[in-house]
Amino acid sequence: MSPSAISEYLSQVAPVPFSPTFRLGAALTEMLSGHLDLGLLDIRVNDGEEPVYRPHRDSFDLDDKQSVNFDSMSVVEVPGMEGDVAAVAWVLHHEYEGALPTGALVKGLRLRAGNIQVGDHALLEDLFPEPRFNAWSVGEVHVIDRRIVPNGRRDHFEQNAHFNNMVNHLAPTARDIARRCRTSSVRRKLEREFELHAQSVAQTIGVITQGSVSRAERERLALSAEQSLLQMSKVVGKQLIADTAKERTERIDTLRGQLSEAMHDGVTVSSPLMRLPEAQREIYQNFFELVYECSTNRVAAKALIDRILMRIVQ
C-alpha cells in the first residue's frame, strides 16, 4: 500500500486539523468549534514526523504553471426545519479561472458529518445551475442536525425531509459560486479581447513605421488600427473591468499617439472617420446626424453607429 495515497485519503476524509501554514485555517477552526466538536486527531503514517493535515493551503500550482490563491471565505449557517442550525458551510474564494485538478485534493463543495467526509467531491454538483461549476469551488458543509444521517455506506445521506431542507437552503450558495465563475469567465474574455486588439494595433504600427507599403495601404492600415482602438475603448467601458479602466485608457492613448507619429500627420484621432477622405467623412457624418435625429432611442442609435464605425474598414 502507498503511504502517500493513504495520507491523501485521510487528509480529505478524516477529522484532522488544518495545516498551520494555511492562513485561514485558524479562523475556520474557531468558527466550526462554535457549532460542533471537531474531534481532531493526530494521525501519522508510518510514524511520520509530521501529522496528517487537511489539504487546504493558501495557494497551490496548477499543471499549466498557473496558481490558485485563496484570499477570502464565506460562511453560511443553514437553518433547520424547526428554527435550529442544521448545518454550517464555508467556501474559499479564489480567482475562479477554471476547474481545479483532482490532485489538489480540495475541489468541490463537500459534505461532512461528525467532521468526517461523506461521499466524494461530486456529491453536491447537481446543486449548481451548471454542475461543472462544482469543480471550480472549494468548500465544505458540516452537518449538525442529527436527523440528517449518512447512509450505511457513507457515500450519501438518507433521503428525508431534513436532508432536503438543508440542500434547498444551500442552493443560494451554489448560485453565488456559479455567478462568481461566470463573472470571472466574462472578465477574462474582455481582458483577452483588449490584449488581442492592442497587439494588432502594435503590429500595424510596426508595419507602418517600416515604410515598406504604399501611402494608400498605410491609410488602410491606419484605419484598421483605429477600428481596433475603438473596440478597445468599448471594452474599457465595461463595468467588469472598471478597476483597470484608467490604466487601459492610458494604454489606448499611448497607442493612438504612436499611430499618429507613425503616420507623420500630427493628427491624434478618436474615430475611424478621421482617417477617411474629407468628402467621404462628411457623407458619414451627415448620415450619422440623421440617425440621431430620427431615432427615439439615443442609446440604440449610438450602438448602431458604433457597429458601423467598426465595419468601415472592411
- Burial code (b: 16+ CB inside 10 Å, e: under 16) for 148-162 equals bebeeeeeebeeeeb
Report all structural domains of the chain as residue ranges with CATH numbers, in order of start: 3-181 (3.30.230), 211-311 (no CATH)
Mean per-residue pLDDT over the chain, rounded: 89
Query: How far, in Å, CA of 225 to CA of 143, rounded?
Result: 58
Left (φ > 0), alpha (ψ -120 to 50) or beta: where does 187 sit? alpha
Residue 58 backbone dihedrals phi, psi, to 5 degrees: -65, -35
From edge to edge, which strands make up the β-sheet containing 72-79?
A: 72-79, 85-93, 138-143, 108-113, 116-118
Structural element, H or E, at residue 217: helix 215-236
pTM (whole model) above 0.85? no
Tell me if 179 sits within 8 A of 96, measured CB to CB: no
For residue range 86-137, list pLDDT tens digits in order.
Answer: 999 999 999 998 899 888 999 999 999 999 999 999 999 999 999 999 999 9
pLDDT of residue 266: 56
pLDDT of residue 179: 95
pLDDT of residue 268: 53
Tell me if 51 sits within 8 A of 16, measured CB to CB: yes
Mean pLDDT confidence for 28-56: 93
For residue range 48-99, list pLDDT tens digits in order.
Answer: 789 999 999 999 887 666 788 998 999 999 999 998 999 999 999 999 988 9
Bigger pLDDT: 170 vs 292? 170
Q: Is 113 helix (H, G, I), strand (E, B) or coil?
A: strand
Structural element, H or E, at residue 282: helix 278-294
Report which listed range, 20-34, 223-237, 259-273, 299-313, is most confident: 20-34
Burial of 143 (0-12, 13-18, 19+ CB in 10 A): buried
For residue range 141-200, list pLDDT tens digits in order.
Answer: 999 999 999 999 999 999 999 999 999 999 999 999 999 999 999 999 999 999 999 999
